[in-house]
Structure 1
Amino acid sequence: MKSFTLPDLGEGLAESEIVEWHIKAGDVVKVDQIVVTLETAKAIVDVPAPYSGTILKRFGHEGDVINVGSVLLEIEEITTEISNHTHGQLEAESVNESSAAQSKDAATVVGKVSHQNHQVDIDSFWVGDASSAQEARSTQGASYAEGAGYTQGNPERSNNQVSALPSARLLAKRLGISIDLVDGSGDSGLILDVDIYNAADKQQPGTEVLKGARRAMVKSMAESHHNVASVTITEEALLNHWNKDEDISIRLIQAVSYASQQEKAMNAWFDATTMTRCVHTTVNIGIAVDSSHGLYVPVLRQADSYNAQDIRTWLDGTVKGIRNRRIGREQLQNATITLSNFGAIAGIYATPVVSPPQVAIVGAGRIIKKVIMEDGKPTEVKAMPLSVTFDHRACTGGEAARFVKALVKHLEREHGNA
Structure 2
Amino acid sequence: MARVCEFKLPDLGEGLTEAEIVRWLVEVGDVVAVDQPVVEVETAKAMVEVPCPYGGVVTARFGEEGSELPVGAPLLTVAVGEDEEAEPSAGGGSGAGEASGNVLVGYGTGAPVARRRRVRPAAVAVAGASARGAVAAPVAEPVPDPDPDPEPVSVSVPDVAVGPVAVVSPLVRKLARQHELDLRSLAGSGPDGLILRADVEAAIRARDEMAVSSATALPGLDSAPAPAVQAAQAAPVVRPTGEEGARRIPLRGVRGAVAEKLARSRREIPDATCWVDADATELMAARAAMNAAGGPSAGPKVSVLALLARICTAALARFPELNSTVDLEAREIVRLPEVHLGFAAQTERGLVVPVVRDAQARNAESIGEEIARLTEAARAGRLTPAELTGGTFTLNNYGVFGVDGSTPIINHPEAAMLGVGRIVPKPWVHQGELAVRQVVQLSLTFDHRVCDGGTAGGFLRYVADCVEQPAVLLRTL
Offset at residue 291 of structure 1 (A): 0.9
Q: Where does residue 218 of structure 1 map in the other structure?
A: 259
Q: Where does residue 200 of structure 1 map in the other structure?
A: none
Offset at residue 310 of structure 1 (A): 2.5
Letter of the structure 1 residue corresponding to residue 438 of structure 2: K
2:73 to 60, 70, 73: 70
Offset at residue 172 of structure 1 (A): 5.6
Q: 1:92-125 deviations in whole A, cap 9, x for unaligned?
A: xxxxxxxxxx9x97xx699434588xxxxxxxxx
Please state if 1:137 is matched with 2:178: no
Distance across 2 between alignment mates of 1:363 and 1:63: 35
Please state if 1:168 is matched with 2:204: no
Letter of the structure 1 residue corresponding to residue 104 of structure 2: K
Question: Any idea what SS the aligned residue of 1:17 has?
Answer: strand
Letter of the structure 2 residue corresponding to residue 210 of structure 1: L
Distance across 1 between alignment mates of 2:359 and 2:21: 33
Offset at residue 334 of structure 1 (A): 1.7
Q: Where does residue 421 of structure 2 map in the other structure?
A: 365
Offset at residue 320 of structure 1 (A): 1.7
Distance across 2 between alignment mates of 1:140 and 1:273: 24
2:306–2:371 contact (8 Å) kept in structure 1: no
Please state if 1:228 is matched with 2:269: yes
Following superposition of structure 1 onto structure 2, how do residues 80-95 of structure 1 map, counting pairs within 5 Å? 80-81=83-84
Distance across 1 between alignment mates of 2:427 and 2:205: 53
Following superposition of structure 1 onto structure 2, how do residues 22-101 of structure 1 map, counting pairs within 5 Å? 22-81=25-84
Distance across 2 between alignment mates of 1:337 and 1:174: 40
2:377 to 308, 321, 328: 321
Q: 1:53-112 deviations in whole A, cap 9, x for unaligned?
A: 1112222233322112322112111223389xxxxxxxxxxxxxxxxxx9x97xx69943
Question: Size of the alignment, in residue pairs?
Answer: 344
- TM-score with structure 2 length normalisation? 0.65
1:360–1:389 contact (8 Å) kept in structure 2: yes
2:22–2:65 contact (8 Å) kept in structure 1: yes
User: Closer, same or farther in 2 for the Cα pair 1:148/1:407, shift >3 Å?
Assistant: same
1:47–1:113 contact (8 Å) kept in structure 2: no
Q: Where does residue 22 of structure 2 map in the other structure?
A: 19
Q: Where does residue 156 of structure 2 map in the other structure?
A: none
Please state if 1:112 is matched with 2:104: yes
Please state if 1:5 is matched with 2:8: yes
Q: Where does residue 393 of structure 1 map in the other structure?
A: 449
Specify every segment of 5 or more residues in structure 1 that has no aligned partner in the other structure, as ranges. 84-101, 117-131, 150-162, 177-202
Q: Where does residue 206 of structure 1 map in the other structure?
A: 247
2:405 to 318, 332, 349: 349
Q: Where does residue 251 of structure 1 map in the other structure?
A: 307
* C-alpha RMSD of the superposition: 3.3
Letter of the structure 2 residue corresponding to residue 59 of structure 1: F
Letter of the structure 1 residue corresponding to residue 395 of structure 2: L
Q: Where does residue 288 of structure 1 map in the other structure?
A: 344
User: Closer, same or farther in 2 for the Cα pair 1:205/1:147, shift >3 Å?
Assistant: farther
Distance across 2 between alignment mates of 1:139 and 1:265: 36
Higher RCO, 1 vs 2 (CA within 8 Å, ≥6 residues apart): 1
User: Closer, same or farther in 2 for the Cα pair 1:3/1:362, shift >3 Å?
Assistant: same
Offset at residue 299 of structure 1 (A): 0.7
Distance across 2 between alignment mates of 1:381 and 1:166: 60
- TM-score with structure 1 length normalisation? 0.73
2:426–2:436 contact (8 Å) kept in structure 1: yes
1:147–1:166 contact (8 Å) kept in structure 2: no
Offset at residue 238 of structure 1 (A): 0.6
Letter of the structure 1 residue corresponding to residue 21 of structure 2: I
Q: 1:132-173 deviations in whole A, cap 9, x for unaligned?
A: 953423546947566559xxxxxxxxxxxxx99642233567
- Once the two structures are overlaid, the 10-residue window that deviates more, 39-48 or 377-386, is 39-48
Letter of the structure 2 residue corresponding to residue 410 of structure 1: C
Letter of the structure 1 residue corresponding to residue 10 of structure 2: P
Distance across 2 between alignment mates of 1:138 and 1:379: 59
Distance across 2 between alignment mates of 1:280 and 1:354: 17
Q: Name the larger-Rg structure.
A: 2
Offset at residue 42 of structure 1 (A): 2.7
1:32–1:49 contact (8 Å) kept in structure 2: yes
Specify every segment of 5 or more residues in structure 2 that has no aligned partner in the other structure, as ranges. 87-96, 109-167, 207-243, 289-301
Q: Which has the higher helix share?
A: 1
Question: Any idea what SS the aligned residue of 1:220 has?
Answer: helix
Q: 1:212-236 deviations in whole A, cap 9, x for unaligned?
A: 1101011101110000010001012
